[in-house]
Chains A and B, each alone.
Chain A
Amino acid sequence: MIHPILEIDHLTHTFPSGGGIQDICFCVFPKEFILLAGPNGSGKTTLIRHFNALALPTSGEVRLHGIPVTADKVAARKTVGMVFQDADTQIVGDTVFDEVAFGPQNLKLPLSLIEKNVTRTLERLCLAHLKDRHPATLSGGEKRRLAIAGILVMDPEIIVLDEPFANLDYTSSKDLINTICRLNQDGRTIIMAAHEVEEVIVFATRMIIMDSRGCLAKDGHPVDLLGHLEAHGIKEPCFSRMGYKAPPWQR
């Protein structure tokens, strides 16, 4: 039996002003590509912030390899890398290189190792030619790749992406999907929050739908959930609305 990496156990988080998430239970297994879908305000961001103890639950627990994430936050944050919804406010460094080096510096790695890891990561994400640029001057797609580089350099097992396609054009979205799929094929677990599932549904191995009250509504293989999406406030992908099966060439 495969052991889950991440166990979400009756997780509830309520905000004083209302909203939040209610009693969420599921497990994340190695190499999965989970699409976390739900309308605006359904609690996707709130939920994923519990995965590395950025938010603390009202009740319930999140366990990473069987250990509560709150017990060792640094380990949790190393294992679960998070790309935030807003690409601009998560950039810390003054240059692309420094931005990627920020995490390893926090882990107090020696300088030579940092240099090596950062250079390798930048090359992997095709950012090496931009290494001296100011992050603010990058395009939206490049910023998103930079944010991924900033967590990839810490070698996380799970990569969580919050609405990675917001504000991206077609080409940048395609590039980003390729990048994410490559990471998934390399053996990293991907959890992606999105309200538009058209672009990624064919790549996901599992889909979790949250409803507008912050409860878990559906959990299953994307193919099985096709046709039920509109009922939960998510736009049905074009091929499914036209009555086709998921295009095989994309899978």
Chain B
Amino acid sequence: MAALNLFAFRAGTTALHRLDVRTKMVLVCMVSLAILAADFTGCLACFLVLYGLIRTIGISFIRLLAQLKWFILLLIIMLLTSSLTIPGTPVFSLSGVMVTQEGMARGALVAVRFFLVMMTGLLFSATTRPTALKSAAQWFLRPIPLVPEKRVAIMISLFLRFLPLILDQAQQTSDAVNARCGNLHKNPVRRIRCLTLPVMKKTFMAADNLCLAMDARCFTEDRTDPAFEKGGKERVFLAAGGGLCLGMVWQAKVSFWMTFWS
């Protein structure tokens, strides 16, 4: 099966695990928006809070960095490109290529914001059961007319279930093709055909089998509705999260006007 990574759900009993998913979803949206509006000070505060929460669910900073290494590389590339392309006060220049102060500041801020949003997402996905996520989707879609929320919910869970299966099968097929020297073919169209057709066929057959298995267990769309676990701390978390977000946005606005006036 496809490797389970940092973002996979890890069972636990922390306050975050017990928080109602719907509250968690609202908090994630709020915090992400606030991060996009905040500046360095706000981001630092946010980082400290998020880091504390990540420690409570038992992920060390080293592990976080190790797992996100490709993402961090992307952020560094972003930082480099913006420091090279945004005009402003030069810090130093190397054979005509100029690194600017403004560019570095802008790039760093964007990178930090991305990293924080990533941390927020990690906290959410590591403490939320896929089922809870599905139930929340179903709950949020309920008031919207013409959307069959139960069908959407079961589709989400089937998609989540099938994705690793498809990736796995793609890997196996590619290994099987390469084991018979399929990688010696230079023609890319032929190589893609050798890979995609069998993978698609296998996936459809797996889907067929799954349909049968679901049928055998009396699958209908009219099923028992999921329940939401309530830890009882929803209000505390909402208040604290709201406070943090307002603080971040307010601080960013104040410092913006301060620099504007001076």
Residues of A within 8 A of B (CB): 49, 52, 54, 74, 77-78, 81-82, 84, 86, 88-95, 98, 102-111, 114, 132, 134, 136-137, 150-151, 154
Contacts and interface: CB of A to CB of B under 8 A. Distances in A.
Interface string B187-198: 000000000000
Contacts of B214: 92, 102
Interface stretch (B25-33, B107-115, B138-146, B219-227): B219-227
Contacts of B89: none
A89 B209 contact: yes
Going nearest first, the 5 A-B pairs with the smallest beta carbon separation are: A90-B213, A89-B209, A94-B130, A136-B1, A132-B11
A102 B160 CA distance: 16
A146 to B, nearest CB: 12
A110 B1 CA distance: 33
A103 B130 contact: no
Interface string B121-163: 0000000011100000000000000000000000001101100
30 contacts: A54-B216, A74-B218, A78-B218, A81-B216, A84-B212, A84-B213, A88-B165, A89-B206, A89-B209, A90-B209, A91-B161, A91-B213, A92-B161, A92-B213, A94-B129, A94-B131, A102-B214, A104-B224, A105-B224, A106-B217, A106-B220, A111-B224, A134-B4, A134-B8, A137-B1, A137-B4, A150-B217, A151-B217, A154-B217, A154-B218
B129 A95 contact: yes
A73 B11 CA distance: 37
A192 to B, nearest CB: 16
A110 B226 CA distance: 10
B202 to A, nearest CB: 10
B176 interface: no
Contacts of A88: 165
B210 A108 contact: no
Nearest to A80: B216
A52 B213 CA distance: 11
A86 B210 CA distance: 10
Interface in B15-43: none
Contacts of A92: 157-158, 161, 210, 213-214, 217
A74 B218 CA distance: 6
B87 interface: no
Given A92-B161, A132-B11, A134-B4, A106 B219 contact: yes
